Structure 1
């Protein structure tokens, strides 16, 4: 079997590429960044918005499946036009090239950023999205375009929450820094909310199972038995053995302050983050389970602990590294440096 992975140098695209190779697939990787070839893996430097270049790549490698992981993330607030063109126009180009080349299936990685409010129950595939940021709106537009082509292409949209694995940093690196240095870790509210993650390995398994399934449409993915945020962070802090401790902040004033700092560009946290930081969000994954037999294997606390261990073990290298993926990079604190000083 042969797969084409877009965003193959990115955080999840790289993990999926490695999983495919370990399972004996031939993989062609497409990214704007250079990658090293290896047995069974041929990286190509191509922009997915380049219809001629990307189409030529697809026709040349004749993949059985395209795994579309490439996206410009919400972190890139200054490049709104580039974000939209990559996530929407680029997705349309990927789909058109797949149709023209007769590709068997397209698996598209979408996001829980399609919503921006908490829920008192698990969110299903039938719930109407309401994104608040351009990133969420771009992922929704990409979904809608792909699903409109369902008569011409077997489309499998995978809506996932925050993807966590060893090496996942980004905004989590701020949390890890506070824990590692034994500082106060601030909860917005009492920490009683539940916010679902998914392990990168479990997501990769879901992608492979969907690729081999006749099922198509939209599928939610996520962990089981989601603990409260307070339970999860307490578990990591206890294992870390540092002097870090949880401290609660009043919910409404804290969110108001986060909103203000975000509006003037002084915080790495955007509208999605301050709206959801004290809210419940879990996906109902029963449709995926029924269609493929998929089951998650790793819970939130174990995922976060693994990512924290990686952070501690590689901190010296990470502080000097420059990587193309925001999820593999340390995040700047911005105005949160004041919070750190007070911690």
Structure 2
């Protein structure tokens, strides 16, 4: 079987390519960034997914396209919309024109916004927060229009973690590594759900094996076992054997973070801080009924991600950027880390 993986150089792309090679699939990877992993069997195209002609050539002869490439929340709003919507439209048309039978779109649970009702089901309203969430909603709508030409699976994963994951988690992991106190917005008793990246990869691969009627649908993906923000943080602290949680009132902290965000002095974006004091978890019953079962709990997934960071910290300390596989500049948060925590 021939797979096209967009966003191949990123966090999910790395794990997806590695998994597919183990399944003896032929893999074509696409990404703007260089493919710096030791996978010589991946046929890699360092290119923009908005290059319609090249994407048609890449898709020719492929059985499945997994479209995971996206502009992330810290990118400029206009670029997020262009990549996430127009890039998705380009990939959909390229795949359909090339005769691809199955297109798997990686969306996000950010399309649900911050609802008051939980768990969140696939049929609940889509009210994306900010350019990232809103553009993903629009991209899903574009996907739906191609279901008369090929099978289109839409997966909405919770925030996923695992080996190679940095990004916003690099801030948390840095504070933890240094033995600092870990700040918590609110009382920390809100339930929060993450997802191990390898469990997500299993869900993606499952889509390719389903009958078209079942695959041509939308599925939430998240850990089936998860606790509170406090339980996630305490799991990390117990492992490190140092540090403690410090709780702050949500209103003033979020106001301060919003101001810092507007001034470009903090790496934390609205979705990151607006959800941290609220319940946010989805139902995955629909996916579980198909036979999918995650191997890790939410807390275990976060801890395994930190363990990888701890082991590789010396090698990645200088990897700066705005992607999930680079360390984010902490801005003024570094001052708070050193002066107050």
Query: For the residues of structure 2 that align with 1:289 and 1:152, how far apart are their CA atoms?
Result: 27
Conserved in 1, the CA contact under 8 Å of 2:4 and 2:58? no
Query: For the residues of structure 2 that align with 1:82 and 1:251, how far apart are their CA atoms?
Result: 31
Residue in 2 aligned with 1:167? 164
- 1:195, distance to aligned residue in structure 2 (A): 1.5
Equivalent residue for 2:313, pick from 308, 312, 315:
315
* Larger deviation, residues 277-286 vs 33-42: 33-42
Equivalent residue for 1:103, pick from 97, 100, 104:
100
Equivalent residue for 2:140, pick from 139, 143, 149:
143
Conserved in 1, the CA contact under 8 Å of 2:7 and 2:31? yes
Residue 84 of structure 1: SS of its match in structure 2? helix
Residue in 2 aligned with 1:157? 154
Residue in 2 aligned with 1:258? 257
* Structure 1 stretches lacking a partner, 5+ long: none
Query: For the residues of structure 1 that align with 2:328 and 2:319, how far apart are their CA atoms?
Result: 12
Query: For the residues of structure 2 that align with 1:312 and 1:236, how far apart are their CA atoms?
Result: 12
Residue in 2 aligned with 1:57? 58
TM-score (norm 1): 0.94
Conserved in 2, the CA contact under 8 Å of 1:187 and 1:246? yes
- 1:39, distance to aligned residue in structure 2 (A): 5.0
Residue in 1 aligned with 2:230? 230
Query: Which residues of 2 match residues 123-272 of structure 1 at below 5 A?
Result: 123-214=120-211, 215=214, 216-242=216-242, 244-272=243-271
Residue 254 of structure 1: SS of its match in structure 2? helix
Aligned length: 336
Compute the RMSD of aligned alpha carbons. 1.5
- 1:84, distance to aligned residue in structure 2 (A): 1.4
Equivalent residue for 1:328, pick from 325, 328, 341:
325
Conserved in 2, the CA contact under 8 Å of 1:147 and 1:217? no
TM-score (norm 2): 0.95
- Go from structure 1 to structure 2 and tell me whether the alpha carbon gap of 1:230 and 1:38 turns closer, same or farther (over 3 Å shift): closer
Query: For the residues of structure 2 that align with 1:2 and 1:137, how far apart are their CA atoms?
Result: 31
- Go from structure 1 to structure 2 and tell me whether the alpha carbon gap of 1:275 and 1:38 turns closer, same or farther (over 3 Å shift): closer
Q: Deviations over 1:235-271 (max 9, x none)?
A: 11111123x1101101222122222222222211111
Query: For the residues of structure 1 that align with 2:220 and 2:281, how far apart are their CA atoms?
Result: 10
Query: For the residues of structure 2 that align with 1:29 and 1:282, how far apart are their CA atoms?
Result: 31
Residue 89 of structure 1: SS of its match in structure 2? helix
Residue in 1 aligned with 2:14? 14
- 1:15, distance to aligned residue in structure 2 (A): 0.6
Residue in 1 aligned with 2:293? 295
Q: Deviations over 1:187-233 (max 9, x none)?
A: 11111011211111000000000111121121100001211110111
- 1:33, distance to aligned residue in structure 2 (A): 2.3
Conserved in 1, the CA contact under 8 Å of 2:320 and 2:329? no
